[in-house]
Amino acid sequence: MSLLIKHGTVINADQSYAADVLCEDGKIVALEPGISASGIDTVIDARNCLVMPGGIDPHTHMQLPFMGTVASEDFYSGTAAALAGGTTMIIDFVIPSPGERLLDAYHKWRQWAEKSCCDYSFHVAVTWWDESVHDDMGTLVRDWGVNSFKHFMAYKGAIMADDGVLTQSFPRALELGALPTVHAENGELVDYLQKLLQKKGILGPEGHPQSRPPKVEGEAAQRVIQIAGILGVPLYLVHNSAIESVDAIAAARRQGQRVFGECLTQHLLIDESVYYDKDWNRAAAHVMSPPFRPKAHQEALWDALSGGVLQTTATDHCCFCGEQKEMGRENFAKIPNGTAGVEDRMAVLWHHGVNMGRLTANEFVALTSTNAARIFNIYPRKGVIRVGADADLVVWDPALVRTIRAETQHQRVDFNVFEGMEITGAPAYTVSNGRIAYADGKILAAVGSGAYVNRPAFPAYIQAQVRQNGRHPLRSVPRSAGNGADGRL
Ligand SMILES: NC(=O)NCCC(=O)O
Ligand SMILES: [Zn+2]
């Protein structure tokens, strides 16, 4: 099975150049101008197009049982939507139910994910602590290619990990060479503010952002960064949405702490006014955590992306239809949290980032693919166009104009937070493992054509820094009974 992409401009995170890309049996095998098309099975003419590494979305929830319901995607529909948007790999989350063993939950998710039509991998959530969690973390890293564990500081009474859990899990992750990831919101404060708002009769979706103000995120981000610093553990903070958390990450990085940050495309473009919409359905459709913020936070997020404080963009893709959001009609705290985004992440970031002059095309590649591949240790297999890498590519037409509409989307949900947004620049073709998976608006990838990606532990990219940061050396003072070692009291 051979595929040749001719006449395009290759864009990697570090450089751009004109070259044809030859793929055979799922790998890139040649990369140079003027490769002959004779004997090749499929040829794509990429004239006037850019050829980029396929996107990696490091934060999706395709099929998540959450808040009394289950996200409306399955792994086929969700990964098909990813391919339509130029994303060729997702890292989804295994979230064990209370009391469920991590390994059992992991195998359940693996079974669900067999339908995937793009490559995938899993972070596994640690939501409580006991010996079985300690042991299963080891098994997952050693035998099942998991190199990151997720901790929710929010969702009290459900999946929240308190400081005790973080303090057990982080050093365990460190000894296994795995990266702790964290949803930073102070779950106690959210719980308190939700109850306060309810007592005051504020029960509509406008209660959602008021119960989770930016400082609730900032406090948790600062606290977990300090905890990780004390323990000498690298850290990845998911979906940063607020100036407060970005500032906390910037300060830690300035001091040499190994902290990585992600932001969601949705938080870059949408502000909190959506929760004050008179139409309950529209307001509820935007309920996700952290919530959308006042506009000033968006500019800070853009600056953090272009300034290197945040390294990745994701979506937290988690679809709930209107009927599911209805569960919170009488109480905002019961509206299932989550919005979709995997289909639009790259186009929205291209349009508002590259076209608007905030990002270069190379930075776009870094932020949508390469940095995630490095942090989660699948680089250079993914995240770069080079000989030997997986043939996961997007042929990007920078002149393609499209209006985002829920009506025409592939993701399985009845709403789109970017509804009506006109964007310029979109995938003409998406190539997954050397095959055309999306072209001319159509998904061509078969159910189950995606593969599970093992992610090895001890990423060199992170580990060197961990050694440098180190834990403070522990010291003891030798003393004789009752006296100091030197005989003096
Ligand atoms: N983000 C969100 O609202 N839903 C998915 C679960 C999570 O990541 O917090
Ligand atoms: Zn989250």
In the chain, where are the structural domains located? 54-387+452-462
Residues 6+ apart with CB under 8 A from 406: 413, 414, 415, 416, 419
Q: Would you state the pLDDT for residue 408?
A: 96
Structure tokens at 51: 């050829």
- Cα–ligand 1 centroid distance for 143 (angstroms): 28
Q: What is the C-alpha to C-alpha distance for residues 153 and 302, in angstroms, rounded to an integer?
A: 25
Question: For the segment 164-175, what is each residue's pLDDT rounded down to a tens digit?
Answer: 999 999 999 999
Please indicate, yes or no, whether the overall pTM of this predicted structure exceeds 0.80.
yes
Look at strands 435-439 and 65-66 and give their pairing.
unpaired
Kindly state if the Cβ of 288 falls inside 6 Å of ligand 1.
Answer: yes
Q: Would you state the pLDDT for residue 434?
A: 98
Kindly state if the Cβ of 115 falls inside 6 Å of ligand 1.
Answer: no
What are the phi and psi torsion angles at 271 (to 5°)?
A: -115, 175
The CA distances from residue 336 to 183, 235, 276, 388, in Å, are 17, 27, 18, 42
- Interval 278-300 mean pLDDT: 98
- Cα–ligand 2 centroid distance for 289 (angstroms): 6
Residue closest via CA to ligand 1's atom 2 equals 338
Question: For the segment 353-395, what is each residue's pLDDT rounded down to a tens digit?
Answer: 999 999 999 999 999 999 999 999 999 999 999 999 999 999 9
Whether the per-residue pLDDT at 52 is higher than 60: the answer is: yes
Only one residue has tokens 């119960």, namely: 211
Q: Select from 318, 319, 339 the residue to mutate for testing ligand 1; criterion: most ligand atoms less than 8 Å from CB.
A: 318
Whether the per-residue pLDDT at 483 is higher than 80: the answer is: no
Average pLDDT, the chain: 96
How does 123-155 read in b/e, with b if 16+ C-beta sit within 10 Å?
Answer: bbbbbbbeeebeebbeebbeebbbbbbbbbbbb
ipTM of the complex: 0.97
Ligand 1 atom closest to Cα of 152? 9
Q: Select from 316, 317, 319 the residue to mutate for testing ligand 1; criterion: most ligand atoms less than 8 Å from CB.
A: 316
Q: Would you state the pLDDT for residue 475?
A: 86
Residue closest via CA to ligand 1's atom 8 equals 316
- Cα–ligand 1 centroid distance for 16 (angstroms): 36
Candidates 108, 191, 193; CA nearest to 154 is: 191
Kindly state if the Cβ of 60 falls inside 6 Å of ligand 1.
Answer: no
- Cα–ligand 2 centroid distance for 239 (angstroms): 7
Percent of the chain with pLDDT over 70: 96
Q: Is residue 403 within 8 Å of residue 61, measured between CB atoms? A: no
- Cα–ligand 1 centroid distance for 209 (angstroms): 14
Q: Select from 337, 342, 415, 417 the residue to mutate for testing ligand 1; criterion: most ligand atoms less than 8 Å from CB.
A: 337
Candidates 375, 445, 423, 346; CA nearest to 11 is: 346
Q: Would you state the pLDDT for residue 461?
A: 77
Q: Is residue 117 within 8 Å of residue 447, measured between CB atoms? A: yes
Q: Is residue 316 within 8 Å of residue 341, measured between CB atoms? A: yes
Structure tokens at 52: 């980029």
Amino acid at 47: R
Ligand with the closest atom to the CA of 95: 1
Percent of the chain with pLDDT over 90: 94
Task: For the domain covering 54-387+452-462, report its CATH number.
Answer: 3.20.20.140
- pLDDT-derived band at 474 (thresholds 50, 70, 90) equals confident
Kindly state if the Cβ of 181 falls inside 6 Å of ligand 1.
Answer: no
Whether the per-residue pLDDT at 37 is higher than 70: the answer is: yes
Q: Would you state the pLDDT for residue 452?
A: 98
Residue closest via CA to ligand 1's atom 5 equals 338
Ligand with the closest atom to the CA of 208: 1
> Which has more pLDDT, 487 or 29?
29
Tell me the residue ranges of DSSP E strands in 184-240: 235-237
Question: For the segment 80-135, what is each residue's pLDDT rounded down to a tens digit?
Answer: 999 999 999 999 999 999 889 999 999 999 999 999 999 999 999 999 999 999 99
Q: What is the C-alpha to C-alpha distance for residues 268 and 353, in angstroms, rounded to an integer?
A: 10
Show the CA angle centred on residue 416, arms to residues 53 and 347, nearest 5°: 25
Kindly state if the Cβ of 61 falls inside 6 Å of ligand 1.
Answer: yes
- Cα–ligand 1 centroid distance for 60 (angstroms): 9
Residues with CB under 5 A from ligand 2 (ion): 183
Q: Would you state the pLDDT for residue 484?
A: 57
Whether the per-residue pLDDT at 210 is higher than 60: the answer is: yes
Whether the per-residue pLDDT at 469 is higher than 70: the answer is: no
DSSP state of 323: H
- Cα–ligand 2 centroid distance for 41 (angstroms): 43
Whether the per-residue pLDDT at 463 is higher than 90: the answer is: no
